[in-house]
Structure 1
Amino acid sequence: MRILLTIIFGLFAYVASSQTLIKSDMKAVELLDLNKYAGVWYEIYRLPMRAEKDLVNVTATYKLRNDGRIDVLNQGYKHSPEGKHKKAKAIAWRPNDEFPGELLVRFFRLFKSTYHVVALDENYNWAIVSTKSRQYAWILSRNPILDAELEKELLSMASQKGIDTTRFFKTPQQW
């Protein structure tokens, strides 16, 4: 129990200290229709994060709840589509209706992070999402594979938003 508490407090201290690195110029999209945003998104690129290490076929599924919040299910498979299934559940909500592109996401009832949808296709076919600090970021698509030209365009767009795309990892999508 003592080890678990140490880990929890260590993670809390890490998250709290990383908030001092927040860059205030991260702007979210001004319009985000949660009904259109709901559904399955395939992770095309991500910045490295321990929770997703070695995962393939990663998806994020958003489901609207009656209370206006969003159930989040992130899942993937370790090393290959036949590998161990890993998943993480969260709850998301819009903390301020004046900023519709910002979502607060809470994992494990303890940790919250603000996610910004910083770019979004008008038909909700792709999205670029980042934490305000840009420590974590994702390129998501409704399809597991992107056309090469669109992929290049989205990487450029993410870079223009201040995301370090040289650190992006292309998520294997082997359906």
Structure 2
Amino acid sequence: MKLLIVLFLFLAAFSLEAKPLETVMYVDLARYQGTWHEIASIPQFFQRKCVKDTTAEYTVLSREEIRVLNSCTTEKDERIVAEGRGKVVEPKTNAKLKVTFANFKDKYIYLLAGNYWIIKLDDDYQIAVVGHPTRKYGWILSRTPGIPDDTLADLTRFLEDRDYDTCDFFTTPQEGGLTEKRKLCDIGK
């Protein structure tokens, strides 16, 4: 009987595991390149000094590699920049990349790269949502510093439908966009 209970609990815990995170069907990297403004994200240690105006600029270097240039403004109103590389790991879709900022003697080290999965992308390449299969990383990106409230609400529902805790996301203050940092789950309440 105890074995049955343990087996039941194990299977119940296993079945509660999040469903696999799906990416978009295809990303045209030439259209994806350019500047994106961070609208909201799950705060990460490497962004700890960022307080506003966070952007990512992507430049295609080859069929499988892109240059990543992240920048933001600090509390002291200084602009900081980090350069990295992204490597396409699923060439059929271009939606799964590994991104690294680890650079040793002008060589980027992909062993230290993180997953960068494009899980939503509008047809005009104006809004993107980037995720990670563990759901511990996530970004809402836009070509403009601000997006309409209803679009942000739709993106919040999109993330919830994919088993993200939207209370883990915080909005990013942007010149011309949102003016304060707030939990995404509190937007519209």
User: Quick check: TM above 0.5?
Assistant: yes
Give the total of aligned pairs.
Answer: 152
| Alignment partner, residue 27 of structure 1 | 22
Q: CA deviation at 1:114?
A: 1.4
User: More relative contact order in 1 or in 2 (CA 8 Å, sep 6+)?
Assistant: 1
| Alignment partner, residue 79 of structure 2 | 85
Work out which of the residue numbers 23, 34, 49 in structure 1 matches 2:44: 49
Percent of aligned positions that are identical = 28
| Alignment partner, residue 154 of structure 1 | 155
Structure 2, unaligned runs of 5 or more: 1-16, 103-107, 177-189
Distance 1:161 1:33, change over 3 A: same
Divergent runs of 4+, >2 A:
none
CA separation in 1, counterparts of 2:63 and 2:125?
A: 23
Residues 115 and 132, structure 1, Cα contact 8 Å, conserved in 2: no
Distance 1:37 1:171, change over 3 A: same
- Rg bigger for which structure? 2
CA RMSD of aligned residues (A): 1.8
| Alignment partner, residue 17 of structure 1 | none
Structure-1-length-normalised TM-score: 0.80
Residues 29 and 100, structure 1, Cα contact 8 Å, conserved in 2: no
Opposite residue 89 of structure 1, the aligned amino acid is E
CA separation in 1, counterparts of 2:41 and 2:140?
A: 7
Q: After superposition, what is the alpha-carbon deviation per residue over 1:134-161, rounded to whole angstroms, capped at 9, x for unaligned?
A: 1110000001001111111111111112
